[in-house]
Structure 1
Amino acid sequence: MFVRTGYFTGDPARLGRALDGLSAEAVGLLSAEPGYRGFGLFANRELGIITMGSWWESAQAERDSDAKLGGRRAELVAPFAGTVAVDVWEAAAFAPPREGGPGAGFRLVRAEFDPAAADRLVGIFREQALPALERMDGFVGGALLIQRDRGRGSVGAIFSDRAALAASRGPQAEARAKVTAAAGVTVRSVEEFEVVVLDRRPPQG
């Protein structure tokens, strides 16, 4: 599975218009493309940040969809976005979201690792971090995304509401410390967002 993410910052006063456009169009546009498997739209309204991710069953499906829809994405965020970052990741380990939507919370952790240790990191995340997340009250779903060649990774975790997100801060910090020590990971940032849109499509076949 492959994930294309967008990270956009701008004037918080203009964020609402961009969210409205993305909420109205994104799922319809993406779901019409072959290989589409899901979409998440997240916002920090106070700071003026939008981040989103679309899930694809193959690297080719991701590339084809971006070639077709990248222009429309730029148009939708243009009224808001002063900075734009788009990346493609391998979904190395994940627990697909069971539910979630407005009112849910999303935590994003960015990290760096030795590219030669990518498989070790994935194994530790699957064996330690993901089970720890799944035991937390209100956990809805989460994923480890990596760029193997660049040694970059991110962990996203969705919780059922803002209270569950807040309550998970301590337990997730403890789990994060254990994984980073075991896998030699350097954490670069931890951010929290509200969930605006969450769409999941089951695999075909």
Structure 2
Amino acid sequence: MYVRTVYATGDPAKIDESLDALRVEAPKLLADQPGYRGYSLFADREIGKIMMGSWWESEQAQRNSDDHLKERRAALLAPFAHTVTVDSWEAVVFTPSLQVQAGAGFRLSRFDVDPSDVDLLVQTFKNTVLPKVQAIAGFEGMALLIDPAKGRGSVGAFFTDRAALVASRGAQSAARGEATAKARVTMRSIEEFEVVLVERV
């Protein structure tokens, strides 16, 4: 599975206009594209950040859809965004049958990894990190995304609500530390978002 992420920052006072438009229009636009498999929309209303992820059955489907959608995406973000960053990833590990409601919590951890350690990281994530985080109260789902050519990756973790997200910080940090101790990983950032919409098809 392949994922395109869009990370936009802007004026918090104008975020709701773009979120409302993206919540309604983006799933319809994406659903018309061949190979579409899901869409997620996240917000940090206080700071002014929007994060989106669209899921695709192949790398080619992901690329083709971006050619068709990038102009409309820019228009939907225009009322809010001052910066927009688009990235492409391979989803190497993810929990299936994700059922997450609006208002759930989402934690995004970004990192760099030595390309020669990608396989080691993936196995450590499957065998150690995922089982430990799955045991945390309120866990709803998780995904590991990798760009192996650039040595970059991210982990997204869903929890039932804001309280569960906050309560999970220590336990997920411990699991994260175990993974970085085994593979040559450099953590770059950890962010938390409100879930606005999650759709899997």
Q: CA shift at 1:100, angstroms?
A: 1.1
Q: Is the 8 A contact 1:44 1:193 kept in 2?
A: yes
Once the 2 structures are TM-superposed, how far is the Cα of residue 74 of structure 1 from its aligned partner?
Answer: 0.6
Counterpart secondary structure, 1:178: helix
Specify every segment of 5 or more residues in structure 2 that has no aligned partner in the other structure, as ranges. none
Q: Give the AA of the match of 2:149.
A: D
Structure 2 equivalent of residue 160 of structure 1: 160
- TM-score scaled to structure 1, two decimals? 0.96
State the one-letter code of the partner of 1:167. A
Report SS of the residue matched to 1:99. Answer: coil
Cα displacement (A) at 1:25:
0.5
* In 1, Cα distance between equivalents of 2:54 and 2:142: 14
Aligned residue for 1:13, secondary structure, equals helix
Farther-moved stretch of structure 1 (124-133 vs 189-198): 124-133
Per-residue displacement from partner, 1:77-128 (whole Å, max 9, x unpaired)? 0111101100000101111353112110000000001011111111111111
Q: Secondary structure at the match of 2:119?
A: helix
TM-score, L = length of structure 2:
0.98
- What's 2:62 paired with? 62
**1:194 aligns to 2:187 (yes or no):** no
| Counterpart-to-counterpart distance in 2, 1:155 and 1:195 | 15
Gaps in structure 1 of 5+ consecutive residues: none
What is the alpha-carbon distance in structure 2 between the residues aligned to residue 125 and residue 66 of structure 1? 29
Cα displacement string for residues 142-190 of structure 1 (whole angstroms, at most 9, x for unaligned residues):
1000100111000000111111111110100010011111112111110
Two-structure CA RMSD over aligned residues (Å): 0.9
After the TM superposition, which segments of 4 or more aligned residues of structure 1 sit over 3 Å from their partners? none
Per-residue deviation, residues 43-101 of structure 1 (Å, max 9, x unmatched):
00000000010000000110111111111101000111101100000101111353112
Corresponding letter in the other structure for 1:7: Y
Match of 2:15 in 1: 15
Q: Residue type matched to 1:16 in 2?
A: D
For the 8 Å contact 1:96–1:142, the answer to whether it is kept is no
Match of 2:177 in 1: 177
2:5 partner SS: strand
| Corresponding position of 1:143 | 143
Q: Say which SS state the counterpart of residue 73 (structure 1) adopts.
A: helix
Aligned residues: 201
Mapped to 1, the partners of 2:94 and 2:181 lie a distance apart of 21
Matched to 2:62, the amino acid is E
